[in-house]
A and B are shown apart, each in its own frame.
Chain A
């Protein structure tokens, strides 16, 4: 065992961390360990199966009881691999009988129920001690790591149990009906023999074997790592390793220094020789010596392997993980056109569905467009702006108790007023004129007159908003109307005549 070749990073760890280290070690070599396991353990299990074929319910117990035997081959492999000497498959198999026979009675009898089984196994197997010395050694080691060995065993037995039940639950659905136990009968009668078929027991035993194969190597590795950690702590393996490396570095550095001194001395001597002898031949000789010296000093820098085949050496360097080229590949989904064509040819009768769908779509579009057009045309007033007034003015229909809607007035207001005047109804005549003018001003000119306005308010509004001719006329008319309606003073015929003739509220170019 050479500590320099160790393939595990040593460092005083917490117990659980060293358990993890064991898992990492086993994971690194799980393929080989599994191969060894299958070669060494499966025959034993086959033998157990044959011997216990009459009562398969005992198989899991026996398989469990024999566990200390299984641990030995993986531990042998792991311990060698940890120190850099990875044994080959055949080398390990050759050790197999020796490993299993050594100490197998105590391991299977009074040490079987030890809680620190996998932690103690390296001390028994690798240290070469015998008899009472082994027990003493295990006791010493357990003082430091025993407690963690116990809790580690607990954790792994939990994992094993849980994984076993998990595997059975997961594969239960795949069992044929004949292999399923009659659970109801089992719970009612508590009669195991008649309700649980043998196939179920065999299946349970097989599941147990699978799980033991999966978990047990990790348990062995964890125990070994705990053991390594223990010795690292109490013997300072990590410090020893560092000191050994330090010594190697310093001695090789010292050797290099010595060589360099020699070379320098050579140069110095050469200078002296050159100074002493002027002959060119001598100088040539000295230079040759010097070159030889220099080459001697250079030699240790380049390894012979590198010199022999530099391309191979470069290749080896490039294979290191630091030079690995990482690539990101992304896949794009491309529709498989052939597939869709096939589908179409398979369903020729459904083409018309697509046509109908398209037709329906265009009909829908046409319907929406038609509806929009009709709606706009119907409500075009909403969309056409009127120049007269932007603010909506609600034209009142009644002002001062007088109906001023156009419908309530005669078509020819002036004629009607003259007729009333001729009939002697002066008030009616002027009322007609006044209402007619207000109706015109409110409805056509949009003069903002509210239904609560008095005559004076109306006049003010008209003077502000109306045209000058219309406003002048309206002032005269208002005066006449107020005079007749409230003062009951008749206006003269001439004035009435003038009001009728000047009537401005007619459509442009149209008859009054």
Chain B
């Protein structure tokens, strides 16, 4: 039996039969985001401790200041992540710097309840020390979820759709319709070829174009030119349909 292809996109079927794909983020990038958050938290805590013991003791005494500082540290520890994740961006500063965000498995933003649950369960993920449970759990679950994520039904995903790089290069080729009907995947491959061909060496371009000889019915530079022409045709067709959709 064929093995399922390994991929980072995780398909989720929603209740109404719609399938969405989540770009889930794994333990490596998440640990970096956590490290950044940890440094930010430690920085803020230190700043508050120094500021409080510099200003407050003359007003309210040393013990009171100590109590207030400890209360502040408590709230930072427990609610820093909750407040940021339930907020509009769905990400803590550390997560945002790594271009991550927290999502519900259904693709929506996390609710406050979910944020509370996934962050309060950090205690469990922390056991037996320094997030060992969380790390192991993330490495071995399909959507890179730690226990808190599994309970709250959340995932950490990449926030930004990668921009396709489209170098502004003049393409000397005439637009031409392919002789055969192409599937969507094949049209996408043609467009990818057109987009990325300027990054490749000439030999590689011709090598790839030679693979498509059954489509272009020509070899060498002529084949490459025809292939680019067909890609241009596909591109302007998709642009047209997109524009049509927008008008509707």
Contacts and interface: CB of A to CB of B under 8 A. Distances in A.
Given A14-B162, A242-B185, A8 B5 contact: yes
B131 A166 contact: yes
22 contacts: A7-B2, A9-B7, A9-B9, A12-B162, A23-B144, A24-B7, A24-B142, A84-B3, A155-B29, A158-B35, A162-B131, A163-B131, A167-B129, A170-B127, A214-B139, A218-B139, A236-B208, A239-B208, A242-B189, A243-B208, A245-B186, A253-B180
Interface of A: 6-9, 12-14, 16-21, 23-25, 27-28, 30, 81-82, 84, 86, 151-152, 154-156, 158-159, 162-163, 165-171, 214, 218, 222, 233-236, 238-240, 242-247, 250-251, 253-254, 316, 319, 321
B25 interface: yes
A275 B130 CA distance: 89
A163 B208 contact: no
B211 A240 contact: yes
B229 to A, nearest CB: 16
Interface residues of B, number: 53
A166 B130 contact: yes
Interface string B19-62: 00001111111011001000000000000000000000000000
Nearest to A17: B8
B210 to A, nearest CB: 9
B79 interface: no
Nearest to A248: B214
A239 B6 CA distance: 18
B132 A7 contact: no
A254 B129 contact: no
Given A250-B214, A250-B215, A159 B8 contact: no
A51 to B, nearest CB: 30
B25 A20 contact: yes
Interface string B134-169: 011001101010000000000000100010000000
A346 B65 CA distance: 59
A242 B5 contact: no
B117 interface: no
Given A7-B3, A7-B6, A214 B200 contact: no
Contact of A27 (B98, B132, B140): B140
The 6 closest A-B CB pairs, nearest first, are A170-B128, A169-B129, A242-B189, A166-B132, A20-B26, A166-B130
A240 B208 contact: yes
B189 A246 contact: yes
A254 B214 contact: yes
B4 A321 contact: yes
Contacts of B98: 16
B113 interface: no
A7 B200 CA distance: 25
B180 A165 contact: no
Contacts of A18: 8
Contact of B186 (A7, A13, A238, A242): A242
Among B3, B23, B32, B129, residue most surrounded by chain A Cβ atoms (within 10 Å): B129
Given A27-B140, A27-B142, A158-B32, 4 more contacts: A84-B3, A86-B3, A163-B136, A218-B27
A169 B130 CA distance: 8
Among B8, B197, B200, residue most surrounded by chain A Cβ atoms (within 10 Å): B8
B180 to A, nearest CB: 6
Contacts of A233: 196, 199
B141 to A, nearest CB: 9
Nearest to A14: B162
Contacts of B84: none
A234 B1 contact: no
B215 A247 contact: yes
A234 B205 CA distance: 11
B212 A246 contact: yes
Contacts of B120: none
Contacts of A30: 140
A115 to B, nearest CB: 14
Given A166-B130, A236-B204, A240-B208, A247 B4 contact: no
Interface string B180-199: 10100110110011001101
Contacts of B193: 236, 239, 243
B213 interface: yes
A168 B129 contact: yes
Contacts of A218: 27, 139
Nearest to A250: B214
B196 A23 contact: no
B20 to A, nearest CB: 17
Contacts of B4: 321
Contacts of A171: 128
A445 to B, nearest CB: 71
